[in-house]
Amino acid sequence: MLGQGFVSAAAIAASVLFVLSLGGLSNQEKAKRAVWYGIVGMGVAVVFTAFGPGIGNYWLMIPMIVIGSVIGWKVAKQVAMTEMPQLVAALHSFVGLAAVFVAWNADLERRRVLAAQALDATHQEFSAFAALVATKAPDELTFLQLEVVFAIFIGAVTFTGSVIAFGKLAGKVDGKPHKLPGGHMLNAGAAVVCLLLAILYLNGAGFWTLLILAALAFFIGWHLIMGIGGADMPVVVSMLNSYSGWAAAAIGFTLSNDLLIVTGALVGSSGAILSYIMCKAMNRNFVSVILGGFGGTQGPAAEIEGEQVAIDAAGVASSLNNADSVVIVPGYGMAVAQAQNAVSELVRKLRSAGKEVRFAIHPVAGRLPGHMNVLLAEARVPYDIVLEMDEINDDFPKTDVTIVIGSNDIVNPAAQDDPNSPIAGMPVLEVWKSTVVFVCKRGQGTGYSGIENPLFYKDNTRMFYGDARESIDSLLSLLD
């Protein structure tokens, strides 16, 4: 058993490692080392917490840690990069549900302590948490109850919201926005009832108030994310990441665990900042994201004229051979096809022929922030030719060939031209200003978000149909 001093020192060390981990993730070259900071920090946190003062039941805890570690290792080894967004959403749901269970248990322990004290049964053996509760003054117990309410509400919203986000990302739930009749009023009404239940609970009502509060919060999380369209899922994942952090911080206050407080605050604040940055990149209102109030169509979409014109590998290769400047825009379709290595080889051949090749990365490309950057780094694409939207958007009029690989919404001119489009006002990569645009796409469908793209019908666009990896492979032998 370790003393409290060792546990506190370990909490500080782990917190520092978590801060270093977050800081390092802002740079691709430092990302691997940053991940190791996080791994070591979490290892320190788990070991020193598990063997800290007042902790017992090792016969149950150790097998659970081993089982969880084995499951986590197997999932991490098997999950493909294309499945990473839904995996992140699933992990958020675990944090939310854990917060609800811990908060429920905390209140049951509080009631147990109060019942024992009422019977003057101070000799009764308490758990480590119950012993902590027994030392609290009445005003401190009130704060404990507030922490319980907050943890249950945020945790429950995070759980069901993350489950729906997982379903939409995995294609198991329709990616289009859906709301029940009453829309936002249902969410507002449920939130008001949750507030009333919290007041009743703080004034001595029974455990049933927390059960109903959790049920209503589960509904709010489900309904909020169901009302958000697939095009906005990257922002939703980031937002849920923030929610899970605040839920963890609330539980940290409940358990008087400094490390949970610090870690939860780091996750919550960084997730909120990332959500805000992404909202600015998509021209979305941050409050609307939090309330699940965007992603739906505002009116009838504009009619699209023309037809999609197909081209074969020989035609694409001919244009690439004659081009001086090439921009590649990757999207989720590249991830699905696992085409990043073929794209990397294409870049190598084009650059060896003296052509300028760069990548244009939209802030919400893929289904997770940084999704495309990770794939390209995995394929050893040089960092210096991977540019953000703001860095490259003005260069498209001077670009000979733009190749769009599995992208839809982030290159959709309707965002600028159609005020009724679900993505109206969202900054996009203006690829249509290039001399010629080749769109590598499986078929003529609208894709994940269900939004039609006028780019595919423009006179300077040619559709290069087929699996992305096979299509890019077919180009390699035809290049000079």
83 close to 77: Cβ distance less than 8 angstroms: no
d(CA 85, CA 188): 29
Total residues belonging to the chain: 480
Dihedral (Cα; 245, 227, 85, 370), 10-degree rounding: -80
Long-range contacts of 31-35 (CB under 8 A, 24+ apart): 31/377
Looking up tokens 């977050």 gives 22
User: What tokens does 381 get?
Assistant: 């694409």
Task: Give the separation between CA 223 and CA 186, rounded to whole angstroms.
Answer: 9
Give the separation between CA 290 and CA 241, rounded to whole angstroms.
Answer: 12
**How many Cβ atoms are within 10 Å of 57's Cβ, its own excluded?**
9
Q: How is residue 101 written in tokens?
A: 């269970």
324 catalytic? Reply is: no
Which residue type occupies 109?
Answer: E
Do residues 386 and 376 touch, judged by C-beta distance below 8 A? yes
Of residues 107, 232, 409, 418, which has the active-site annotation?
Answer: 409
Which are the contacts of 158, defined by CB distance < 8 A and separation ≥ 6? 92, 93, 95, 96, 99, 221, 240, 243, 244, 247
Sequence-distant (6+) residues with CB within 8 A of 151 are 99, 100, 102, 103, 247, 250, 251, 254
**Contact present, 420 and 300 (Cβ < 8 Å):** yes
Q: How far is it, in rounded angstroms, from Cα 332 to Cα 283?
A: 21
Q: Please state, in angstroms and as integers, the Cα–Cα distance from residue 112 to each residue in 54, 177, 187, 254, 257, following that order.
A: 18, 44, 34, 16, 21
* Residue 428 to residue 210: CA distance in whole angstroms: 44
Catalytic residues: 409
